[in-house]
A and B are shown apart, each in its own frame.
Chain A
Amino acid sequence: MELLLSGNSANVSRSRWLRLHASAVFAFLYLPIAVLILYSFNGQGVGGFPPRNLTLDWYQTLFSDGAIWDSVLNSLEVGFAAMAISLTFGIPAALALDRANFPGKALFRRLVLLPLILPGIITGLSLLMLFDLAGTKLSLLTIVLGHGTALIAVATTEVFAGLQKLDRAQEEASLDLGANYWQTFWRVTVPNLKLPIIGAALLIFTLSMDEIAVSFFLIGRDNTLPLEIWGRLRRGITPEINAISTIIFIFSLVTIVFWYRLRVKAEGSVEAGAELIAATDS
């Protein structure tokens, strides 16, 4: 393709222009994050150019900040519990969409995917009304239910994509050779879906750890990490928040790159993620 298009000089200038644009967009996407990280080492506070008195003090303050670490533990709990719920219902949902016909199937598919494209406020508020009506006290549990429900979409999409690539003959052989459905599911279907399932689990966990819009409405007395940070932002900012943001960024970066590798390995394509996005309106 490149050979074909790089034939004449108009094309060379076109590709040069595109490259310049791409660099500018990447700078726009990454510079704010770079600034954020740089100022987590700034002795003089969150603003002020040039950064002065580079220090690790803010990280020290952070590590001895009990409230932050309590909220981190809460977020980890929520992340794991949400992951369990999303997988428990998302995997069967993908199997159902792949293999069963039932009335309202099209509606069901849209409904499952909706929380991923709807602004978080709608999901959060509608669940708030449900919990209010049911008399459920808001707590980490209500956040877990919110995240678990909203992120079923991720599990379903990832596993559904895996199922499309699955060789049905293996399951058929297992059934013909006398294994029951339960055995076939655990010994043939799940091992074949290992990569999509791990990928989905990672993504759900990361998204739950970062989620704020839905949690905002379902929060009880205990804060998740993003809500703890949110509360502090309103009281004034210090580079301690840059420090915790830097750690969150690195944590997300590692899991996302790992997820991406898994996805490429499972799908053999570099379109990981696009399908997840595109699935919501197909």
Chain B
Amino acid sequence: MFSRAYRTIVTVPPLAWVAVFLLVPYALMFCYSFWSVSSAQTIVRSWNVANYQELFQKPVYWETLLRSIWIAARVMIFSLLLGYPLAYFLSFYSGKRKDLLYQMVIIPLWVSYLVRAYAWKTILGSDGVLNTLLQYVHLTSHPLDFLLYSPFAVVLTLTHIYTPFTILPIYASLEHIPRNLVEASHDLGATPAQTFWKVIFPLSIPGVVAGATFAFVLSLGDFLAPLLLGGPSGIMISNIVVSLFGAAYNWPLGAAISLCMLVVVVSLLFFSERLEKKWSFS
């Protein structure tokens, strides 16, 4: 029912915009990663794989990458451990308060990243709220210094930030489970634990996969929480990229690392999509 002209008008402008401001920049990142910097600090546009060689040869790069993956993995696991039971409670046991509690999950999801990261900084510092509280109640006599400027602070803060991201897709998948399946399992004599592990949990796997992917991917690329709370031992791969694009002025090497991150992220998305399809029942 829509004419060719209509379809062209709604298609071409967004397509053109996305091509210029998303596709071209990603392509540019790809190109840069094969270029190099001259000694006079200018970009040399000759193609070579030197950046990738450097990346794999210098331990600082892949060690930081591994550390980032380990931090992101911990954030993912903690977010799931906190998020799944909450989503399950929300979907099956929250009764009349469902709507209110759901909003309480949405709010921190969209509320300022910076505000939440800053809040943790004021809590974890050596003169921070937690340390002074512990001394006030005489649990410790001097401030615990592992709290701030450590991977611990980064994992804690990122878990706080990304837990709501894991709750939403898990909740959505739990809500989509036909309740008569649960009743059938119950009527056929399954115990509640059996019903959960054999019916509910398998059907919620697509949500778990989506939530896990979110938490992992977004925390893997984070550079603000490590800058604010990580200290030297909490540096992540994106911090190296930031310095390569800043003071160290080596855009090509920075682009190569970013591209590796992009490849990891896109293949994870692809993989998680396959997993979700495999486990979804509709």
Contacts and interface: CB of A to CB of B under 8 A. Distances in A.
Do these two chains interact?
A: yes
Interface of A: 1-2, 4-5, 8, 10-11, 14-15, 18-19, 21-22, 25-26, 28-30, 32-33, 35-36, 39, 45-50, 88-90, 92-93, 95-96, 99-100, 102, 108, 111-112, 114-115, 117-123, 125-130, 133, 145, 149, 152, 168, 171-172, 175, 181, 203, 206-207, 210, 212-213, 216-217, 226, 229-230, 233, 237, 241-242, 245, 248-249, 252-253, 256-257, 260, 264, 270-275, 277-278, 280-282
9 contacts: A5-B93, A26-B104, A96-B7, A108-B15, A112-B14, A229-B118, A237-B121, A253-B107, A273-B106
Nearest to A269: B175
A95 B10 contact: yes
B106 A119 contact: no
Contact of B111 (A21, A95, A256, A278): A256
A256 B107 contact: yes
Interface string B94-109: 1100110111111111
B116 A33 contact: yes
Given A22-B101, A127-B21, 10 more contacts: A18-B93, A22-B85, A28-B160, A32-B116, A89-B14, A92-B9, A111-B22, A206-B110, A256-B111, A272-B106
Contacts of A203: 110
A104 to B, nearest CB: 8
Contacts of A118: 217, 221, 262, 265
Nearest to B120: A32
Contacts of A248: 112, 115
Interface of B: 1-3, 5-7, 9-11, 13-15, 17-18, 21-26, 28-29, 32, 82-83, 85-86, 88-90, 92-95, 98-99, 101-116, 118-123, 125, 127-129, 131-133, 135-136, 160, 163-165, 168-169, 171-172, 175, 179, 182-183, 186, 191-192, 210, 213-214, 217-218, 220-224, 228, 238, 241-242, 245, 251, 254-255, 258, 261-262, 265, 269, 272-273, 276
A121 B192 CA distance: 45
A181 B210 contact: no
B114 A125 contact: no
A210 B192 CA distance: 43
Contact of A212 (B114, B214, B238): B114
Contacts of A18: 85, 88-89, 93
Given A90-B14, A181-B6, A129 B115 contact: no
Contacts of B127: 45, 47-48
A99 B119 contact: no
Contact of B241 (A22, A115, A121, A129): A121
A84 to B, nearest CB: 13
Contact of A125 (B17, B123, B241): B241
A137 B183 CA distance: 63
Nearest to B228: A233
B1 A175 contact: yes
Contacts of A213: 113, 223-224
Contacts of B171: 271, 274
Contacts of B93: 2, 5, 15, 18-19
B114 A226 contact: yes
Nearest to A128: B245
Given A96-B7, A122-B261, A270-B98, A281 B186 contact: no
B277 to A, nearest CB: 9
A65 to B, nearest CB: 17
Contacts of A11: 192
A160 B271 CA distance: 25
B181 to A, nearest CB: 12
A149 B21 contact: yes
B214 A39 contact: no
Nearest to A272: B106
Find the residue from B93, B163, B261 having the highest chain A CB count within 10 A. B93
A1 B132 contact: no
A45 B5 CA distance: 63
Contact of B132 (A49, A108, A152, A270): A49
A29 B101 CA distance: 12
A90 B11 CA distance: 11
A109 B245 CA distance: 30
